[in-house]
Structure 1
């Protein structure tokens, strides 16, 4: 498994190569394309139709609000999805019917779920010492936290829908 420093180095290399690729393409495009400005190139073009009237038409601001709400909820769904995955795995881990089969105190299915949740060594979860917190209890707490996050997501979603509904 890669160290955190190596992961950061890979990410920095990836971002650097991406930015360099973008800048090289912009520079090559600027050097290669012809520069021939004249009045006809500055005209508005839409499907070959001649323009009638001004091209500066005022739009109702409600359209911008709806577009902004769509973008906000789209980004919120991207942040919500990992919590939904954690909720499902935590519910599976908190099942009291899971039989303990390995020396770490976990079933192979539980070890697999811990690995999917990012725990590199699932035996560490069992070394809590004198604490009486079991795997099922801690997974249940994680499930409740992720369920709370899901409820916050839907509350924000409903407030946004109510706002758009009220605005018309």
Structure 2
């Protein structure tokens, strides 16, 4: 096994590092560097912070976020199924239809419970 086989991989790694590092270096070199007291302060927006940073969020925010992740991941399971649809046959098709039916029942249940309402 010769090292010539690894040349494309090495070039790919170098290009990846270059694409990641070069814009940062160029921005650091070419970008303006004019710090002042407001820029170096912890709050760059120009005024002091108000309120507590540890404020409580409504539970519905977390519920909607969890439901989004749940349904998003379940939809992501459909991509490999769609690619392999010709190979898995009728049994694979109907098993995914059962999966989708359960997904729709769960979605309707959440909708009827009002978990998706944001008021």
Q: Residues of 2 paired with 1:76 and 1:30: CA distance?
A: 42
Matching of residue 142 in structure 1 with residue 74 in structure 2: no
Instruction: Tell me which of 33, 52, 56 is aligned to 1:58.
Output: 56
When Rg is computed on C-alpha atoms for both structures, the one with the higher figure is 1
Deviations 1:4-56 (A, max 9, x none): xx9xx78x93x7634541232233334443262533564364xx9x7894263
Supply the RMSD in Å over aligned alpha carbons: 4.2
| Corresponding residue pairs, total | 105
Quickly say closer, same or farther: Cα 1:36–1:51, change in 2 above 3 A.
closer
Quickly say closer, same or farther: Cα 1:55–1:148, change in 2 above 3 A.
same
Aligned to 2:21: 23
How far did 1:148 drift?
Answer: 0.9
Instruction: Tell me which of 67, 76, 79 is aligned to 1:78.
Output: 76
Superposed structure 1 runs of 4+ greater than 4 Å apart: 50-53, 163-167
TM-score of the two chains, using structure 1 as the length reference: 0.40
**Structure 1 unaligned residues grouped into runs of 5+:** 1-5, 91-138
Q: Residues of 2 paired with 1:159 and 1:152: CA distance?
A: 11
Q: Residues of 2 paired with 1:85 and 1:38: CA distance?
A: 57
TM-score of the two chains, using structure 2 as the length reference: 0.51
How far did 1:78 drift?
Answer: 3.3
**Structure 2 unaligned residues grouped into runs of 5+:** none
